[in-house]
Amino acid sequence: MATSFKNYIGGQWQDAADNATFVDTNPARSADVIGRFPLSGERDVDAAVRAAQEAFVTWRRMPAPQRGDYLKRIGDLLTERKDAIAFEMTREMGKTFTETKGDVQEAIDTAYYAASETRRLFGHTVPSELPNKFNMSIRRPVGVIGVITAWNFPVAVPTWKMFPAIAAGNTVVFKPSEDAPHSGMLLVQVFVDAGLPVGVVNLVQGAGATGAAIVNHPGVDAVSFTGSTQTGARIAEVCGRTHKRVSLEMGGKNPQIVLADADLDLALEGVLWGAFGTTGQRCTATSRLILHEAIHDTLVDRLITAAGRLKLGYGNEPGVQVGPLINQKAFDKVSSYMDVARSEGVRIACGGKRAMGAGLDMGYFFEPTVFTGVTPNMRVAQEEIFGPVLSVLKASSYEEAVAIANNTEYGLSSSIYTKDVTIAFRAIEDIEAGITYINGPTIGAEAHMPFGGVKHTGNGHREGGWEVFDFYTETKSVYIDYSGKLQKAQIDNQ
């Protein structure tokens, strides 16, 4: 009998209003049922929004450093429970235990960072153009934030959103991915155990319709979403019509450039981690490797050998380097790109099929795959595959490599390996992406830095760092006239 879990609304753990449920299973061991979760509908979302609205009245008025104290306690509890939460995350969504511990650590770092920022929610003071008048700006919270997240970072990404949101005085309605509901529940349980006031964070489990109910609800003042570009576009349309603030973090087709002078050992380590870490299921995953022609053949040969040696398996077992794809739909999508590659004349240099071996037949395992002979406009060089699949392209110069890197609708992360400091600084300016790594892979964001992309990857906002507080706060301008007479600003200055 599967364990049943509940929503958390207004301080109460409760079933969906209509008692509908869905089942969550281990993608590495399909017979391992994680549990049964509420399939929430509009009534559940409405109850969560009303609870968040009620809590907002008092939460927004709490001194910001006191809100930071709650975040500090949450960070402490996450530290205590890191291994236990990470184990369940791996069981639920498949990436290795080492990676899920890093996922929780990122949440810990974000908790402490957001707690410290509650003492730095700065406004500005500026001179007035009139005598005996004082000008300043202050930050005010937005209201109820709808947080809708993906499954691949089921603790780190929700906390990127929720911690700064509540630090700034907002309240939250949170819907985790239906592929990682248990991780979302474990995170919210930490909030409860830390004593976060009732209604500040509310959990509604469910699928796409649940997320749509959040986006459409008139009581939700802003939406923060991580997921596909297609879904993000639909959310943006709704928020545009309903005048909601919206932050979108979407797809990527991230390039790693390796020039002729690069440290090839370092570049190989980087691309193996960037392309096959999290089984390639990251928005920042390295999906295009752009090699200077002088080192192309050498690095490709080494890459094929190294990729073939990666150990696949259940991520809670020692020594495993690559876990499963998240579900059958993802497996079918990645498999379909093998036919696309063949139709485009691409060589599948390694991988390209279901992984076989002891224990692998119980999950959605796909071999680490390398495509060679790829040209810039092929589908495999343009479309986000979201799996352990790497397309290798050849360039004859730095300029051509950058042109290939920029030849995509996405612009999230990027990387270049070179020992030439002049080229490195040119790349920082030339590559069209929200993130550029020099001599590092396309993955590895830090909690105190802004995170996000350009073009179809995002809509201009950033997660993380100091910039995220711009999304979760409204700026209010304040004028204090102590002249004792009517002053008319520009009219008085003619």
Reported as a single tens digit per residue, the pLDDT across 88-144 is 999 999 999 999 999 999 999 999 999 999 999 999 999 999 999 999 999 999 999
Bridge-based pairing state of the strands 473-481 and 133-141: antiparallel
The residue annotated as part of the active site, out of 178, 249, 384, 463, is 249
Distance CA 322, CA 427 (A): 31
pLDDT at 1 over 80: no
- In this prediction, residues 15-33 reach a mean pLDDT of 97
CA distances from 480 to 122, 139, 475, 492 (A): 18, 17, 16, 17
Residues 6+ apart with CB under 8 A from 244: 215, 220, 221, 222, 223, 238
Write down the pLDDT at residue 58: 98
pLDDT tens, residue by residue, 58-69:
999 999 999 999
Write down the pLDDT at residue 263: 98
> Which H/E stretch holds residue 416?
strand 415-417
Give which of 283, 257, 251, 252 is closest to 270, Cα–Cα: 257
pLDDT tens, residue by residue, 290-331:
999 999 999 999 999 999 999 999 999 999 999 999 999 999
249 flagged as catalytic: yes
pLDDT at 373 over 80: yes
> Which H/E stretch holds residue 125?
strand 124-126
Q: What pTM was estimated for this model as a whole?
A: 0.97
pLDDT tens, residue by residue, 173-187:
999 999 999 999 999
Let me know if 153 is exposed, middle or buried by CB neighbors in 10 A (0-12, 13-18, 19+).
buried
The residue annotated as part of the active site, out of 117, 283, 384, 463, is 283
Write down the pLDDT at residue 494: 73
Write down the pLDDT at residue 490: 84
DSSP 221: -
CA 424, 426, 432, 435: dihedral to nearest 10 degrees?
40
Distance CA 48, CA 52 (A): 6
- In this prediction, residues 156-176 reach a mean pLDDT of 98
pLDDT at 157 over 80: yes
- In this prediction, residues 245-263 reach a mean pLDDT of 98
283 flagged as catalytic: yes
Q: Rounded to an integer, what is the distance from CA 202 to the centroid of its chain?
A: 20
pLDDT tens, residue by residue, 191-212:
999 999 999 999 999 999 999 9
Domains and CATH numbers, the chain: 7-250+458-477 (3.40.605.10), 254-438 (3.40.309.10)
pLDDT tier at 348, thresholds 50, 70, 90: very high
Write down the pLDDT at residue 113: 98
